[in-house]
Amino acid sequence: MQKATVGNNSGSINWQTLIAVVIFHILAVAALFTFSWQNLAAGVILWWIAGSLGIGLGYHRLLTHRGFKAPRWLERTLAVCGSLAMQSGPITWVTTHRLHHAFTDTDRDPHSPQKGIFWSHMGWILRGTAQNNSEATRKRYSPDLMRDPFLVTLDKYYWVPIVIVSIGLFAAGGFSMVLWGVFLKTIVGWHTTWLVNSATHLWGSRRFDIRDTSTNNALVAALTFGEGWHNNHHAYPRSARHGLRWYEVDVNWIQIKVLEKLGLIKNVYAFELGAAEEEPVELVPIQDAA
């Protein structure tokens, strides 16, 4: 039987990942020299589809934490949107994030800030095995997703949707639109998402005195459609609502409420603060750390 293992920072450089990251950064810079309002619109719309609908609602609040229930067609659609962010396939992403919650700020946390800010931001994808979890690990931490053949296939070929989108962008606006809608959009999405792993475990305020370093960071929340209210999230991981006060703007939560009002989703789980802030709670890992 294959042993369930957790990625770490040992091992050689992941050259394939490093080369891809460098190329994407170069082409993202090149996009800045081809500005047009059409290109900007393509980039912003795809950033929202991939980063908010895909990563925030799909990969994170639905697939990882099951904060609400969606019909199979919508769950798969949001997963495809998530693949457009080029942050790996849904099962790989979810497994890594569930490991983060199970082993937050320890040596077994895939992107622990205890290993340095560069490591928690992007070093963890460039070196070691943090994103190359074994089949046994995926089955242990994401058994619900492993039972869906569509998600298994999408996880293996997660790059196909962005290739299809690239062809469409090229037909509509030429290579410059591809630069904005694929490469620049992806770089912005990568770094804003990585800020949740790095910045929100280093700087910000803490409403809940839980056993990790998570904080609420308004700037990161603004850049990630609400994902930066990280201390709130770590205190109540299943909650589909991360911004718990009116001034904690949570765009992803607003969209979830719209979907609920439209009858497209149900069983939305949302923690609510009372008139006084709740007493500190202890974070319960998604999976047994034993």
- SS3 assignment for 195-232: HHHHHHHCCCECCCCCCCCCCECHHHHHHCCCCCEHHH
* pLDDT tens sequence across 194-234: 999 999 999 999 999 999 999 999 999 999 999 999 999 99
Neighbouring CB atoms inside 10 A of 37's CB total 7
* pLDDT tens sequence across 35-74: 999 999 999 999 999 999 999 999 999 999 999 999 999 9
Q: Where are the domains of the chain?
A: 15-261
- Is 278 a residue whose pLDDT tops 80? no
Query: How would residue 11 be classed by pLDDT, with cut points 50, 70 and 90?
Result: low
* pLDDT tens sequence across 64-100: 999 999 999 999 999 999 999 999 999 999 999 999 9
* pLDDT tens sequence across 151-170: 999 999 999 999 999 999 99
Residues above pLDDT 70, as percent of the chain: 91
Mean per-residue pLDDT, 128-144: 88
The model's pTM = 0.91
Whole-angstrom distance, CA of residue 74 vs CA of residue 64: 15
